[in-house]
Copies of this chain bind each other. A is one copy, B any other.
């Protein structure tokens, strides 16, 4: 049977920007309605607040419903519906389906969330990713290919992990084969949120990554198949459709996908500024919170990354303390995404929010940590996301939601086996740390040679690069123009700051985790091609 791969592969990756814009009309209506709702919910103005906005609300509903139905994506005429017949052993009846009026009838409509998601695939950034997939750079076999500096999993030490697997997998599997590969064990225990053995191993690993500064309890842990599902699951637990989460920006564009697509939750970027080295500002959070409240939007949480992603800062102890104070005052949750904990490359040690909770007294049940094992293990293909929470209700709900994203039993056993090899894990962590440090150093040095500055980050697998002085116009348009040049001329696919909700044009997210050290020179040389004769607007 030959496959008929007529359908486009999923475009995934960095394609979420337009997701935001698609629901603009609906949101515009909400911006007007919601403050009025705010009045209605106040103690005063009940009569005024219920009749007038109601009338407005329904008129808006009618207006936007009509507008939406006219602008909804036109149904495509099922290009590959003939595929069913394209296989041996089935008689083809193309003529009939061509004549039939039914076949050409309008498709039953999809959900609006599916429509939004599909529309996001058509955006400019998905094109960048596609270019990387179609023409991937390789130092020897395709030296002119497109270099991926967008978002991929950490491959900096894949060689080491692969070596280990090759050396150990035989012994492991012979062992496992004797114990029936756990067949039948999984379903009866219904432990969708991860084997206890793996939770113990992950807790130990997280402690090791944080250099023993804090311990994690396996019983407070939910394991999911990848960070995307860990994020989404936590969001389902903490917020309802129409609620919002404050996120200091610039932030990783994956949040716009993982936290919004299916949950119906909105993200409110809270801008940080280059003049402040992109540090989180409690005052800005306060403003954003109050603005949302005025508009009748319920803020349920703040999401921070530590180290800041993409800016790379390690959050100071007092910042974490202030965040805990702020979330306590507002009675909201604090989500600390510590995905890149293992990739700190400066001298400062990272402080997990769990460590602060150990020493200072706050309601621990409002704090939730996200972590990704495959990131720090450099094991793409093994997807393990972690929700660490001290809130029993969150753990109970997340454990149930874990049925939609449980980790393969086989993967779990391999990982338990691997994590129990303490000398190997220590060596792996040391090596990844060294490589991250070297890569970051080489990138910063190379860019400096082109008079390009980076933010002063000491964590993460990327550089946050300021190319604003090379923009033809200091605007989002100018930034995207530069992004296109980098893709077309330099053949490198980076993430423009506007996709990270950075309000200052000209910043770019260079992620180096799929490169080797020798690739850095190639990248720098290619950038020189773009900005060589370029004077910039400064």
Given contacts A241-B264, A393-B110, are A10 and B400 in contact (CB under 8 A)?
yes
A80 lies within 8 A of chain B by Cβ:
yes
Of the listed stretches A192-200, A269-277, A336-344, A480-488, chain B binds A192-200
The CA-CA distance from A379 to B200 in the complex, in Å, is 26
On whether the beta carbons of B177 and A84 are closer than 8 Å, the reply is: no
- Identify the stretch in A404-412, A431-439, A462-470 within 8 Å (CB) of chain B at 4 or more residues: A404-412
Q: Are B40 and A58 in contact (CB under 8 A)?
A: yes
Nearest-CB distance from A135 to chain B (Å)? 13
Partner of A183, one of B12, B327, B379: B379
A residues 490-538 touching B (CB-CB < 8 Å): 514
In this assembly, does A474 line the interface, its C-beta being within 8 Å of a C-beta of chain B?
Answer: no
Contacts A7-B219, A394-B110; is A405 near B405 (CB within 8 Å)? yes
Known: A5-B196, A185-B381, A219-B3. Is A81-B404 also a contact (CB below 8 A)? Answer: no
A283 within 8 A of B: no
CB-CB under 8 A for A215 and B90, given A1-B200, A10-B193, A184-B381:
yes
**Which residues from B are CB-within-8-Å of A331?**
106, 108-109
Query: In the bound complex, how far is the Cα of B192 from the Cα of A215, in angstroms?
Result: 33
B-contact 0/1 string along A158-197, CB 8 Å cutoff: 1001100110011001101110111111111111110010
* A408 in contact with B411 (CB, 8 Å): yes
Contacts of A232 in B (CB 8 A): 404
Question: CB of A460 within 8 A of chain B?
Answer: no
- Restricting to A68-121, which residues have a CB under 8 Å from any CB of B? 73, 75-76, 78-81, 83-90, 93, 96-97, 100, 102-103, 105-115, 117-118, 121
In the complex the two chains form, is A401's CB within 8 Å of B189's CB? no
The answer to the question of A226 belonging to the interface, with a C-beta cut-off of 8 Å to chain B, is yes
Q: Given A187-B152, A187-B155, do A118 and B408 touch, yes or no (CB 8 Å)?
A: no
Q: Is the CB of B108 within 8 A of A327?
A: yes
A393 touching B114, Cβ below 8 Å: yes
Stretch at the interface among A47-55, A285-293, A312-320, A451-459: A47-55
In the complex, whether A362 has a CB less than 8 A from a CB of chain B is yes
Task: Report Cα–Cα, A409/B358, bound state, in Å.
Answer: 38
The answer to whether A124 has its CB under 8 Å from any CB of chain B is no
Q: Which of A113, A185, A226 has the most CB of B within 10 A?
A: A113
* A215 x B397 contact (CB < 8 A): no
Whether B169 and A170, one on each chain, are in contact in the complex, defined by CB atoms closer than 8 angstroms, is no
Q: Is residue A142 within 8 Å, beta carbon to beta carbon, of the partner chain?
A: no
Check if A390 sits within 8 Å of B78, measured CB to CB.
yes
Q: How far is the CB of A316 from chain B (nearest CB, A)?
A: 21
B226 touches A406 (CB 8 A): yes
> Does A183 contact B381, Cβ atoms closer than 8 Å?
yes
Shortest CB-to-CB span from A157 to chain B, Å, is: 11
The reply to whether B152 and A181 form a contact with Cβ atoms under 8 Å apart is no
- Is A217 within 8 A of B84, CB to CB? yes
**Chain A residues numbered 193-225 whose CB sits less than 8 Å from any CB in chain B:** 193, 196, 199-200, 203-204, 207, 212, 214-220, 225
Would B264 and A366 count as touching, CB distance under 8 A? Answer: no
- List the B side residues contacting A147 at CB < 8 Å: none
With known contacts A166-B177, A170-B174, A215-B90, A102–B328 Cβ distance under 8 A = yes
Which residue from B112, B229, B238, B381 sits with its C-beta under 8 Å from A111? Answer: B238
Q: A96-B361, A102-B361, A111-B236 are in contact. Are A400 and B78 (CB under 8 A)?
A: no
A312 CB → nearest B CB, Å: 22
Are the CB atoms of B12 and A190 closer together than 8 Å? yes
Known contacts A84-B358, A358-B84; is-contact A111 B54 (Cβ 8 Å): no
Which B residues are CB-close (under 8 A) to A261?
Answer: 400-401
Q: Is A425 an interface residue (CB 8 A)?
A: no
From residue 29 to 81 of chain A, which have CB atoms closer than 8 A to chain B? 40-41, 49-51, 53-55, 57-59, 62, 73, 75-76, 78-81
Docked pose: A215 CA to B89 CA in angstroms: 8
Which of B117, B121, B191, B237 is within 8 Å of A110, CB to CB? B237
Check A217/B87 contact, CB under 8 A, given A153-B187, A361-B102, A363-B103. yes
The distance in angstroms between the C-alpha atoms of A165 and B405, with both chains bound, is 24
A162 to chain B, nearest CB (A): 5
Q: 25 A-B Cβ contacts within 8 A?
A: A1-B203, A1-B204, A7-B392, A7-B396, A12-B400, A12-B403, A13-B190, A75-B365, A80-B392, A83-B390, A84-B390, A89-B212, A90-B358, A97-B361, A102-B328, A103-B362, A105-B328, A111-B239, A113-B240, A162-B183, A170-B170, A229-B404, A241-B241, A382-B408, A408-B411
Question: Known contacts A225-B225, A264-B264; can you find 14 more A-B pairs with CB under 8 A?
Answer: A1-B203, A4-B219, A9-B190, A10-B403, A49-B58, A51-B51, A76-B392, A84-B357, A102-B362, A133-B189, A133-B190, A229-B405, A381-B409, A410-B410
3 smallest CB-CB distances across A and B, nearest first, come from A54-B54, A408-B408, A10-B399
